[in-house]
Amino acid sequence: MPSPLQSASFYAQLLQHISGLYPDANEDLIVGAITGEFDRGELRSPSPNVELWSEADCMLITYGDSIVAPDEAPLVTLKRFLSDHIKDTISSVHILPFCPFSSDDGFAVIDYMRVNDELGEWEDITAIADSYRLMADLVVNHVSSQSEWFQNYTQGKEPGASWFFEANAGDDLSQVVRPRASPLLRPTETPDGMRHVWCTFSHDQIDLDFRNPQVLLQFLRVIRLYLEHGVRIFRLDAIGFLWKEPGTTCLHLPQTHEVVRLLRCVLDRFAPGTILITETNVPNHENLTYFGNRNEAHVIYNFSLAPLLVHALLTGTTEYLKRWMMSMPPAPLGCTYLNFTASHDGIGMRPAEGLLSDDEQLQMIEAIRRFGGRISTRRGADGSERVYELNVSLFDALKGTVHGEDDWQVDRFMCSQTVMLGLEGIPAIYIHSLLATSNDEEGLNRTGHNRSINRHKWDDELLRKQLSDSSTNQAIVSNELLRRVHIRSQQPSFHPSATQFTLQLTEPFFAFWRQSQDRSQSIFCIHNMTAEIQTLRLADLNLISLNQWRDLLTNSTFDDLTESIAVQPYQCLWIANS
């Protein structure tokens, strides 16, 4: 139990957050409502003395129904796939929104307190949480137009009548930044007449108004429910858009950061060991602000990695990837990055702004189009449309280079995943990367939504056949990727907080050095980013001759540290001293 002094300190801290958000409200009443919600009964939570992450951590990102079987709840099918194929190689699972929804494959939530009947039940969520550290989405910015809250809004009833952000005809919205080109405001008839509600993403996703403390309290109730069912990582979806003020960009406003700090404060107190992740698909310098002063997100997404890594593999040019790596600060103590190369969305291009020139981006876009990908746009503050993301299966995005398709798809793809596995932070693998899934043209044609191209639903029986046939891309990629994840999990130099330095090898190579926190182990991560054999001079690595060096991926040793070795197309080396 916390001491009275600790309780007083927490109360004062929480009061400070509430005062910053709601200076005109009854602050003591709001704080009392928060503590009352979390003080009722014990919560299952990790031990506060257990390290938040280690080299053994790796996450799988999946929809609840990425694998389906006849007459079986998809969450049950997913649990069986995890037990049979993943086992304990991967430590954490991110199940994308699993609540009832009306659009955007789950991100237009109808009811946060229920599991979608088409996926399963709460007990299915808990069963997965019993075996893996479970991450769930907290879709805080908006809610479905079909939700009870918004239906109440249209009828002037609470809860809901005062829960949605409205704009007036005279508001200055010229600076608003958002990731869509659709109209921002949705005319809506209410008992008080026509109102215009804010829709950052779509007219089915209505933005909530966090200026009303009741909205905040409702989401704290959702958090508590999720904790009760075993969720240990919360992903704050689209958090950067949370607070709105006409006349501003309505992005990353100070109140938004205050909300994140408040959530962190509550979780640290009532569920210590729970991890908070912010999802902000924006340029790197903006993304980094969500670490706060080590008092906001524990983890932020490394959004710039995917477009820069894909660009490097498509062009064979590592200049931009190296430049970004050298500019990345180590994560603050107690924080880290989530590294990913593919997700349920596309390859975000906004995080590449200022890092890749317009010409470099255009070259990359044309290659992705040739490989069957699609392009999604956003509307800038000046009203112009800009590329927002590339919609494509990562496996197909790497079926060739800017010069066209070739025979190196699997090797190139494995190189992309191996780079991710070696970097500072926690790696996160999208299920369709693990399964080498190609573009889902049928799904795209069925829904008409570009993102459907990378949201395939595997038939369970067919997938099992593919994985049991060693000649298929599914078996080749999945088995080798899981093997590399397993090797990674045993190396202290791959601890998320271990030291990292970018190496300045010749252009075809992308390389970096990791060193364990106790300095007992070093790993040189070398990647040939081209379809040509490249020569690596071991002397360029300055390997200490007193150590025995070996490549962890092939288990081959290096006895002559002055020799040059031939690195095959897209080959990766993890040269370690122990």
Identify the band that residue 383 occupies on the pLDDT scale cut at 50, 70 and 90. Answer: low
What are 116-159's pLDDT values in tens digits? 999 999 999 999 999 999 999 999 999 999 999 999 999 999 99
More confident residue, 181 or 199: 199
Global confidence as pTM: 0.96
Q: What is the pLDDT of residue 431?
A: 98
Annotated binding-site members: 104, 142, 235-237, 344-345, 451
Q: What is the pLDDT of residue 179?
A: 87
Closest CA to 318 of 499, 565, 534, 481: 534
Q: What is the dihedral of CA 500, 347, 147, 232, to 10 degrees?
A: -20
DSSP SS3 for 558: strand
Whether the predicted pLDDT of 81 surpasses 70? yes
Whether the predicted pLDDT of 2 surpasses 80? no
Percent over 90 (pLDDT), the chain: 90
Average pLDDT in the chain: 95
> Is 59-145+208-494 CATH 3.40.720.10?
no
Annotated binding-site members for substrate: 104, 142, 235-237, 344-345, 451
Whether the predicted pLDDT of 57 surpasses 80? yes
Q: What is the pLDDT of residue 418?
A: 98
Identify the band that residue 423 occupies on the pLDDT scale cut at 50, 70 and 90. Answer: very high
Kindly give the pairing relationship between strand 275-278 and strand 299-301: parallel
CA distance 27 to 513: 50
CA distance 428 to 339: 6
DSSP SS3 for 472: coil
Q: Which CATH architecture has domain 499-576?
A: Sandwich (2.60)
Identify the band that residue 181 occupies on the pLDDT scale cut at 50, 70 and 90. Answer: confident
Whether the predicted pLDDT of 46 surpasses 80? no
What are 302-332's pLDDT values in tens digits? 999 999 999 999 999 999 999 999 999 999 9
Q: Sign of dihedral through CA atoms 133, 138, 144, 149?
A: positive
How much helix, strand and coil, in percent to the nearest 5, is found in the chain? 35, 20, 40
Identify the band that residue 578 occupies on the pLDDT scale cut at 50, 70 and 90. Answer: confident
353-387 as b/e, with b when 16 or more CB fall inside 10 Å? bebbeeebbebbeebbeebbbbbbbbbeeeeeeeb
Whether the predicted pLDDT of 387 surpasses 70? yes
What are 467-508's pLDDT values in tens digits? 999 999 999 999 999 999 999 999 999 999 999 999 999 989
Whether the predicted pLDDT of 379 surpasses 60? yes
Q: What is the pLDDT of residue 4?
A: 59
Catalytic, 237? Answer yes
Whether the predicted pLDDT of 394 surpasses 60? yes
Closest CA to 493 of 511, 513, 515, 519: 515
Residue with tokens 């006349």: 247
User: How far lies 87's CA from each of 7, 93, 128, 408, 467, in Å?
Assistant: 41, 12, 12, 29, 15
Whether the predicted pLDDT of 1 surpasses 70? no
Closest CA to 496 of 43, 144, 56: 56
Q: What is the pLDDT of residue 133?
A: 97
Whether the predicted pLDDT of 6 surpasses 70? no
| Burial class for 164, CB neighbours closer than 10 Å (0-12, 13-18, 19+) | buried
Whether the predicted pLDDT of 463 surpasses 80? yes
Q: What is the pLDDT of residue 310?
A: 98
Residue with tokens 């990766």: 572
CA distance 240 to 244: 10
Q: What is the pLDDT of residue 332?
A: 97
Whether the predicted pLDDT of 395 surpasses 70? yes
Catalytic residue (choose from 237, 396, 460, 551):
237
Task: Kindly list the domain boundaries of the chain, sorted by start residue.
Answer: 59-145+208-494, 499-576
CA distance 311 to 329: 22
More confident residue, 182 or 135: 135
- At 466, list the tokens: 């593919």
What are 226-270's pLDDT values in tens digits? 999 999 999 999 999 999 999 999 999 999 999 999 999 999 999
Whether the predicted pLDDT of 5 surpasses 60? no
Alpha helices in 141-253 (DSSP H): 148-155, 213-228
The interaxial angle of helices 460-468 and 473-488, nearest 10 deg, is 80
Identify the band that residue 26 occupies on the pLDDT scale cut at 50, 70 and 90. Answer: very high
Q: Are 291 and 285 in contact (CB under 8 A)?
A: no
Whether the predicted pLDDT of 341 surpasses 80? yes
More confident residue, 482 or 8: 482
Q: What is the pLDDT of residue 184?
A: 95
